[in-house]
Amino acid sequence: MQISHCNFPEGILYDLDNFIWIKKDEVDGPVFTLGATPILAALAGKLTKIKLKEIGTMVEKNKSVASIESLRYFGMVRSPVKGKIIEVNNTLSSNPKSVNDFPYDDGWFVKIKTQYSDATNGSDFNTENLKLIDECHDEIRKLIDKLHIRCFSAFPDYEMFEIGVECAATLTKLDELIGKIDLGNVVHVVSDDTSADLEMIRWSEEREQSLLEYRKEGTLYHFIVKKIK
C-alpha cells in the first residue's frame, strides 16, 4: 500500500510508536526480521553510521537493537518484541544508506527469535501499536502529515532548496553539484519558479541525466535527479 507516496507492504506488522516493521520469517519457529519504515528513514535523513547489537544479545520489548546516525540525527532502533538476536545485517556498516533506499529489503537490521512459542503468523503481536497496514493506514497517514514526511522514488543524497531563485540560476547550481558528486547519487531539487517543470525536463534531456520524478505540492516543485553519466 502506498500512503502519501510512501510504501507500506502488506503482510507485515508496523510499530506505530517507533516507526519499525517486523515480519515473520519463512522458517521453523518464531523468528522475525526487523527494519525501519520510510517514516523513520525520512526523519533521520541520509544515514551515515549504523551500529548493531551482537548476535546472542537478549532484547527486551521496546529496547534498542541498533543505533543509527546521520548528519542531523542520532537515535535508537527499538524492537517491538522480546527475544534473542540470532542474525544481524552486517552490510549496513559499509552501506548504511541501504536503510533509506531499500527499507524492506537490503535495509533490514536484525533477526530475532521471540519468546513466544506459538507465534506462527504474527497474530500474537497484533496489539494496539503493532498492526497490519489494513488496520493502521489512517493512523500512518496522520503521522506522515503531522511529521511532514516526504517520500520519493529514490532517497536523496543531496538537497537543493532554491526558493525565490530563477530556474536558470538553479540549473547552474545543479550543474556544479552534478559535476562533484558520484555516479548514482540522487539530488532533491525544490523550486518555486513557475517554469521549473519545463526547464528541468529540458535540462535532464540536454545533460542526459535521469529525472526520476517530479511533482508539484502547492506552489513548490519537487524534482528527483539521479546522476547517470
Which residue ranges make up each domain of the chain? 2-147, 158-226
- Reported as a single tens digit per residue, the pLDDT across 144-159 is 999 999 999 999 999 9
* Entry pTM: 0.86
Cross-strand pairs, 50: 68
What is the pLDDT, as a whole number, of residue 122?
A: 43
| Residue found by looking up cell 515480519 in the block | 23
Q: Please state the φ and ψ torsions of residue 156, each to the nearest 5 degrees.
A: -70, 140
Domain 2-147 architecture: Beta Barrel (2.40)
Please, what is the average pLDDT of the chain?
92
Q: Which CATH number fits domain 158-226: 3.60.150.10, 3.30.70.3270, 3.30.110.40, 1.10.10.10?
A: 3.30.110.40
Q: What percent of the chain has pLDDT over 90?
A: 88
List the grid coordinates of 196: 521549473
What is the pLDDT, as a whole number, of residue 114?
A: 86
Give the integer Cα–Cα distance in Å for 220 and 229: 27
Tell me: pLDDT of 118 over 60: no
